[in-house]
Chain A
């Protein structure tokens, strides 16, 4: 699904190339659950942003589902966001002016799905995440864990094939974190959704089936998870 070939990324600062990623090559197959780990400032978020096409690599090629991203236009990229990629953020990034229900519904509106279909899909997700009672609340009225559940529901509603999650549990307590992680594993196993997450926690990494470690912009290790939880 994802083919990274010799990706480089640097920020030019006062004439000096400040490298964030160097010679990153990796491939992620459909149905994998990959955890990216590494020290702070290593370039994990940058890598994820490149995967999500939010940032462009300075060098190298990136093929997503067989297509070359670097030569892709804006319109096509928006198509990918609408149909194939869901984002989950550490800071949830729900829209304050929208209720839980509206937040989940938003991607479907952009995808131009008809109202009846939207309603039933949102109802399904609310049901599945046990949030029916909270559907008319605003994000500020929810706990952090609940907000992240809404964030994940929002990422799932358009039925993406890839979920990119940057420290999805970074702001949560361990009990809540475990809940989110089992949800990810379930989505990965039962629905075959490919997941790439950035995490600082060994324990969370064990929910996936592969761990990439990055240090100073270079992939240090790439190991399968032995006894998956």
Chain B
């Protein structure tokens, strides 16, 4: 019977090609989305879960107080002094490890130099992460201060082979290191990634701030591994008392957070995890399931629309001795067959789409990620889809009683003033309309943020890392670039223009109320021409001037900094920055850095001895861009041959800050498009079915003198009413939803009348076209043909 059911299902698919096509298209799209989702969720859920030893690893988190008892931010940076203290006084810990943030640094094997991601760590890192050693071992890998551990692909890049332990490498064109181990590449879905790893001992010689044990510089990661059976809360409690008794002047409370959850749940508010990447996972899940649901609705609607035809079959089978179960089973088989066809297509389609998807979400998925559980999940999705799509029609159809269904054109029973089919069409269009509204609002918000004045003239502004020889020969480099005419102004600074990492609280000003400042300030150390190069507006005072030697002890305040300090007339006032006295010589207008939709920390800009960091240059617009770049590259290569020339355009840097919004916009566009496509396909199917059923009625009406337009109206009205209902429900709902989304941005646009109008008109237009296509056909049909039919 099962085989016969499948045969019959295939035959009935072939007999109803348009319906089959609509169903297969929809289900394939929906299942493809689900398949991608499955891969993506597997990828995200396995973040940092490649090795069992990671389950007991926790990261130490730091809360940044806002000075009013609340917490403004939480991050994973800790001081250098924390780890040694914990190691000594917390017996609950199995291991403690200090780790640097990754940074792109030069590493060279002879002539072959590359800039790759470097990290420094204490040897305990090998107890935290389960790196697989291809050569060397965990006991010796980081023992010698001048050792380096390479990942397999780093070894391949540098040497072209893997057996390279013992080989020499040169770090930053300054230090000689020996390769002590090669490990397998770290999976993309692991945190704290690197291309090469060096000992903490070496870090202490490279960066003095890593050597000095302090309680103020939160620039290092601390990982802990708890002994088995230790609850994290007990460690948290001990942390608080320990920090108090240690006499550190650190006011920032620490807490520990599981490393395996950090990626998905790493967003904190008031020191509590409130989500993170899990939100993206959830959003994507909702969208993919939504699309699948739309496809299932198409199946249900087309199946029940054909109920009249199938009713007879049900009636006959009942007289042959079929019970209800066997009928339900038969209809479910039909939807399963359809699902299986679609899932086969979906797997092929997903295979094709994965590369695009990977570059879109910056992930690395492949079907190889599929393991036993994923296949089971896939099977579950197919079964679920088949049952979801098939069960309503199956139970509906199998419930027909014999007599009703065998009489011709017997009207089907109805309990409510509207049918399930109408409800489902409304649900479909609600979903589609909501996605259209979301797309429009996201687009509007992105352009709003984009069009917000940056406070910096980003056109023709480029930046370049300040490293190697240039650190000592910056002045000469600057002179030569200015002389070449490629650059009209430039400066060096400790941090990049669009991203400042140096937050601090150690600042005092005249008239300060509190004993200690708790507001996070941001510091930029620079030389001359910061204001001039960036085109930042001065509100009072002036930029640093080489003509006045006293300016080396001067400081510029951002407008926000001046406001927080409450200085009426800031010029000439003396403030203390990290213990140093500095005279305010100017106040400049706030500009955008870090998050473009947020007010940033108050800022101080001061002259500092050159220590490396970044250079920012304004290109001379009198010359072509190509000429400018060529001139800069030539001079940079001449003066700093060990390093590649890396120029970034500031307009692109700023555009990159809207990345996650761009992604959200893209997702909503793609899913919105698919939702509308599937819904319209379903609508098309229903309209054509209704047209077919009413062929004779239309024929009679035409003969009685109805115009083409009359017929079209007759056919469209019922469906347009449903679309209208969907609009009435979905537009206010989605507007409210998007409004809450907008509230998440400090600077945000609003949902306008135009958003609503465009969404409404777009939906109506698409629905009208869909219905119209069918209606014209039905109305045009020769009435004589129609009447001959019966």
Identify the A interface with B (CB < 8 A): 49, 52, 54-55, 74-75, 78, 81-83, 85, 87, 89, 93-98, 102, 106-107, 109-111, 154, 158
The reply to whether B11 and A81 form a contact with Cβ atoms under 8 Å apart is no
Complex Cα distance, B766 from A28, in Å, reads 64
The reply to whether A54 and B321 form a contact with Cβ atoms under 8 Å apart is no
Given the interface pairs A106-B317, A111-B321, the reply to whether A93 lies near B406 with Cβ below 8 Å is yes
Chain B residues whose CB sits within 8 angstroms of the CB of A98 once the complex forms: 4, 8
The reply to whether B319 and A54 form a contact with Cβ atoms under 8 Å apart is yes
Q: Which residue of A lies closest to B323 (CB)?
A: A78
The reply to whether A93 and B312 form a contact with Cβ atoms under 8 Å apart is yes
Chain A residues whose CB sits within 8 angstroms of the CB of B12 once the complex forms: 97
Chain B residues whose CB sits within 8 angstroms of the CB of A87 once the complex forms: 319-320
The reply to whether B321 and A97 form a contact with Cβ atoms under 8 Å apart is no
Ranked nearest first, the 7 interchain pairs of A and B with the lowest CB-CB distance are A82-B321, A110-B321, A81-B321, A107-B320, A97-B11, A93-B316, A97-B8
Within 8 A of A (CB), among B292-317: 312-313, 315-317
Complex Cα distance, B8 from A97, in Å, reads 6
Within 8 A of A (CB), among B355-409: 402-403, 406
Q: Which residue of B lies closest to A93 (CB)?
A: B316
Q: Which residue of B lies closest to A87 (CB)?
A: B319
Chain B residues whose CB sits within 8 angstroms of the CB of A110 once the complex forms: 317, 320-323, 326
User: Can you add 12 more A-B contacts, CB < 8 Å, to A75-B323, A102-B4?
Assistant: A54-B402, A78-B321, A81-B318, A81-B319, A81-B320, A85-B319, A96-B15, A96-B313, A98-B4, A98-B8, A102-B7, A106-B317
Complex Cα distance, B319 from A158, in Å, reads 12
Chain B residues whose CB sits within 8 angstroms of the CB of A158 once the complex forms: 321
Expressed in whole angstroms, the minimum distance between the Cβ of A41 and any Cβ of chain B is 14
Chain A residues whose CB sits within 8 angstroms of the CB of B317 once the complex forms: 95, 106, 110
Instruction: Give me 7 A-to-B residue pairs in the complex whose CB atoms sit less than 8 angstroms apart, sorted by A's number.
Output: A55-B403, A85-B319, A89-B316, A93-B312, A93-B406, A106-B320, A110-B320
Chain A residues whose CB sits within 8 angstroms of the CB of B322 once the complex forms: 78, 110
Q: Which residue of A lies closest to B322 (CB)?
A: A110
B578 within 8 A of A: no
B704 within 8 A of A: no
The reply to whether A107 and B403 form a contact with Cβ atoms under 8 Å apart is no
Chain A residues whose CB sits within 8 angstroms of the CB of B11 once the complex forms: 97
Between A78, A83, A158, the greatest number of chain B beta carbons within 10 A of the residue's beta carbon is seen for A78
Expressed in whole angstroms, the minimum distance between the Cβ of B383 and any Cβ of chain A is 24
Complex Cα distance, B402 from A31, in Å, reads 27
Expressed in whole angstroms, the minimum distance between the Cβ of B63 and any Cβ of chain A is 68
Q: Which residue of A lies closest to B14 (CB)?
A: A97
Between A49, A85, A94, A110, the greatest number of chain B beta carbons within 10 A of the residue's beta carbon is seen for A110
Expressed in whole angstroms, the minimum distance between the Cβ of B307 and any Cβ of chain A is 15
Within 8 A of A (CB), among B1-56: 1, 4, 7-8, 11-12, 15
Q: Which residue of B lies closest to A110 (CB)?
A: B321
Expressed in whole angstroms, the minimum distance between the Cβ of A139 and any Cβ of chain B is 11
The reply to whether B403 and A54 form a contact with Cβ atoms under 8 Å apart is yes
Expressed in whole angstroms, the minimum distance between the Cβ of B399 and any Cβ of chain A is 12
Q: Which residue of A lies closest to B5 (CB)?
A: A109
Expressed in whole angstroms, the minimum distance between the Cβ of A53 and any Cβ of chain B is 9
Q: Which residue of A lies closest to B313 (CB)?
A: A95
Complex Cα distance, B402 from A93, in Å, reads 12
The reply to whether A154 and B15 form a contact with Cβ atoms under 8 Å apart is no
Within 8 A of A (CB), among B262-318: 312-313, 315-318
Expressed in whole angstroms, the minimum distance between the Cβ of A116 and any Cβ of chain B is 15
The reply to whether B403 and A49 form a contact with Cβ atoms under 8 Å apart is yes
Chain B residues whose CB sits within 8 angstroms of the CB of A111 once the complex forms: 321
Given the interface pairs A89-B406, A93-B406, A95-B316, the reply to whether A107 lies near B321 with Cβ below 8 Å is yes
Chain A residues whose CB sits within 8 angstroms of the CB of B7 once the complex forms: 102
Chain A residues whose CB sits within 8 angstroms of the CB of B321 once the complex forms: 78, 81-83, 107, 110-111, 158
Complex Cα distance, B11 from A30, in Å, reads 41
Q: Which residue of A lies closest to B318 (CB)?
A: A81
Expressed in whole angstroms, the minimum distance between the Cβ of A73 and any Cβ of chain B is 12
Q: Which residue of B lies closest to A79 (CB)?
A: B321
Chain A residues whose CB sits within 8 angstroms of the CB of B315 once the complex forms: 93
Complex Cα distance, B312 from A102, in Å, reads 17
Chain B residues whose CB sits within 8 angstroms of the CB of A97 once the complex forms: 8, 11-12, 15
Chain A residues whose CB sits within 8 angstroms of the CB of B8 once the complex forms: 95, 97-98, 102
Complex Cα distance, B7 from A85, in Å, reads 27
Complex Cα distance, B320 from A55, in Å, reads 16
Complex Cα distance, B317 from A82, in Å, reads 11
Complex Cα distance, B319 from A85, in Å, reads 9
Complex Cα distance, B323 from A87, in Å, reads 16
Task: For A109, give its contact among B4, B312, B319, B403 (CB under 8 Å).
Answer: B4
Chain B residues whose CB sits within 8 angstroms of the CB of A107 once the complex forms: 320-321
Complex Cα distance, B1 from A82, in Å, reads 16
Expressed in whole angstroms, the minimum distance between the Cβ of A125 and any Cβ of chain B is 15
Complex Cα distance, B322 from A81, in Å, reads 9
Complex Cα distance, B330 from A98, in Å, reads 13
Complex Cα distance, B4 from A109, in Å, reads 10
Between A52, A74, A97, the greatest number of chain B beta carbons within 10 A of the residue's beta carbon is seen for A97
Q: Which residue of B lies closest to A78 (CB)?
A: B323
Task: For B319, give its contact among A52, A94, A96, A102 (CB under 8 Å).
Answer: A52
Chain B residues whose CB sits within 8 angstroms of the CB of A89 once the complex forms: 316, 406
Chain B residues whose CB sits within 8 angstroms of the CB of A49 once the complex forms: 403
Chain B residues whose CB sits within 8 angstroms of the CB of A83 once the complex forms: 321
Complex Cα distance, B4 from A97, in Å, reads 10
Expressed in whole angstroms, the minimum distance between the Cβ of A135 and any Cβ of chain B is 15
Chain A residues whose CB sits within 8 angstroms of the CB of B316 once the complex forms: 89, 93-95
Expressed in whole angstroms, the minimum distance between the Cβ of A85 and any Cβ of chain B is 8
Chain A residues whose CB sits within 8 angstroms of the CB of B15 once the complex forms: 96-97
Between B4, B8, B319, B321, the greatest number of chain A beta carbons within 10 A of the residue's beta carbon is seen for B321
Chain B residues whose CB sits within 8 angstroms of the CB of A93 once the complex forms: 312, 315-316, 406
Chain B residues whose CB sits within 8 angstroms of the CB of A78 once the complex forms: 321-323
Expressed in whole angstroms, the minimum distance between the Cβ of B697 and any Cβ of chain A is 22
Complex Cα distance, B12 from A94, in Å, reads 14
Expressed in whole angstroms, the minimum distance between the Cβ of B670 and any Cβ of chain A is 38
Chain B residues whose CB sits within 8 angstroms of the CB of A54 once the complex forms: 319, 402-403
Expressed in whole angstroms, the minimum distance between the Cβ of A48 and any Cβ of chain B is 11
Complex Cα distance, B320 from A81, in Å, reads 6
Expressed in whole angstroms, the minimum distance between the Cβ of B326 and any Cβ of chain A is 7
Chain B residues whose CB sits within 8 angstroms of the CB of A106 once the complex forms: 317, 320
Chain B residues whose CB sits within 8 angstroms of the CB of A74 once the complex forms: 323
Q: Which residue of A lies closest to B8 (CB)?
A: A97
Complex Cα distance, B323 from A81, in Å, reads 10
The reply to whether A109 and B1 form a contact with Cβ atoms under 8 Å apart is yes
Complex Cα distance, B4 from A95, in Å, reads 13
Chain A residues whose CB sits within 8 angstroms of the CB of B1 once the complex forms: 109
Expressed in whole angstroms, the minimum distance between the Cβ of B625 and any Cβ of chain A is 68
Given the interface pairs A93-B312, A98-B8, the reply to whether A154 lies near B320 with Cβ below 8 Å is yes
